[in-house]
Amino acid sequence: MCKIDVSKLKVGDKVYYQPSHYAETDWENGMVKEIPDFTTDKTASVGYNCIRVVYNCAGDWENFKNYTSALTNLRDLKLGWLHQIGERVVTVRPISSLSELRRIVLGE
């Protein structure tokens, strides 16, 4: 899985938390609530390479900004949401361009 590019990340992006100690079948979906200034500040004593993510809002994702967030290290996050459908785990993530959509749908 590729790393998240913080320069392209924005509030409201869907992410999932899956640190290395989690099993492949364990994860938590969330939404980016804040990208603090210290996220890219290598001199920060706390919070470097971390963003604020809301994980549990009782399914009220439209109002996720009203819920408590957790400071989460980017190394433990991936873009999109994971969903289990039967035995399969699928990733739902934003499509960045029309050409990417064509590649996915048409196999171009």
Tell me how far CA of residue 72 lies from CA of 27, 35, 85, 87, 90, in angstroms. Answer: 13, 10, 27, 28, 22
Say yes or no to pLDDT of 106 above 80. Answer: no
- As a whole number, the mean pLDDT across the chain is 86
Q: Which position has the higher pLDDT, 53 or 5?
A: 53
pLDDT band at 87 (very low <50, low <70, confident <90, very high): low
Residue-range domain boundaries for the chain:
14-106
Say yes or no to pLDDT of 82 above 90. Answer: no
Span 94-101, mean pLDDT? 66
Q: Which position has the higher pLDDT, 24 or 92?
A: 24
Most confident residue range from 4-18, 76-90, 94-108: 4-18
Span 4-28, mean pLDDT? 92
Spatial contact of 71 and 65, defined as CB atoms under 8 Å apart: no
